[in-house]
Amino acid sequence: KNQVEQSPQSLIILEGKNCTLQCNYTVSPFSNLRWYKQDTGRGPVSLTIMTFSENTKSNGRYTATLDADTKQSSLHITASQLSDSASYICVVSGWAGNNRKLIWGLGTSLAVNP
Amino acid sequence: KAGVTQTPRYLIKTRGQQVTLSCSPISGHRSVSWYQQTPGQGLQFLFEYFSETQRNKGNFPGRFSGRQFSNSRSEMNVSTLELGDSALYLCASSRRDRGLVPFFGPGTRLTVL
């Protein structure tokens, strides 16, 4: 069964600290993996997209890693800011028969406190 | 390049009513998907339209329907609203040749009283 699991479910950190969010998936065959940031009451905004051959991709203070062998991805946030408070969602693109499918994780809710 | 737009942004209805939500995709995107998001449930896929045809459908009752127009704009309709339909409804557009990677609109917050 195609699944995407994220951990932790929620996280509270102090401003300026680093944190790492995890995403494990069982989607096969795999096409790509994307991390989204979603502010409360708004639509998700894409942070990074990674294909099978990519190990690391950065977007400012956000760095995503992908291990296609273990089917794990992480999102590392450096020097957190209050504006990083949001839900971070991992989504994996795969195939179900002849149809391309997106399998969504439930997200990690991050709170950055002053 | 303008992003995905959704109207209205907020909506309050009562049980039994019906509602229509609208979505305009990014220019050049012909695939439009709809999602329902409720606290603790994550994004639940409703349906996807491409070239005015429904290509994929999630596990929602027939009260949820949609359509796509020739200009790729899309609408979704929910009939006989229930309290549990209160949610953020998100529209996303994508190019199928780019791996179905979606760009989301701001969403419509529907409250059913």
**Residues B3, B103: contact at Cβ < 8 Å?**
yes
In terms of phi and psi (left: phi > 0; alpha: psi -120 to 50; beta: otherwise), the region of A55 is alpha
pLDDT band at B100 (very low <50, low <70, confident <90, very high): low
Closest residue in chain A to residue B104, using alpha carbons only: A43
Contacts of A104 in chain B (CB under 8 A): 42-43, 45
% residues pLDDT > 70 (chain B): 95
- A79: contact with B, CB 8 A cutoff: no
**Which tens digits make up the pLDDT trace of B33-50?**
999 999 877 889 999 999
pLDDT band at B73 (very low <50, low <70, confident <90, very high): very high
pLDDT band at B101 (very low <50, low <70, confident <90, very high): confident
Q: Is pLDDT above 90 for A31?
A: no
- Give how far Cα A73 sits from Cα of A86, B32, B90, Å: 19, 27, 25
Report chain B's mean pLDDT, rounded to a whole number.
92
Q: What are the tokens at B13?
A: 């209805």
**Residues B35, B47: contact at Cβ < 8 Å?**
no
Q: In whole angstroms, give the CA distance from residue B95 to residue A33.
A: 16
Rounded to the nearest angstrom, the minimum Cα separation between A104 and chain B is 7
Max avg pLDDT among A9-18, A86-95, B34-43, B44-53? A9-18
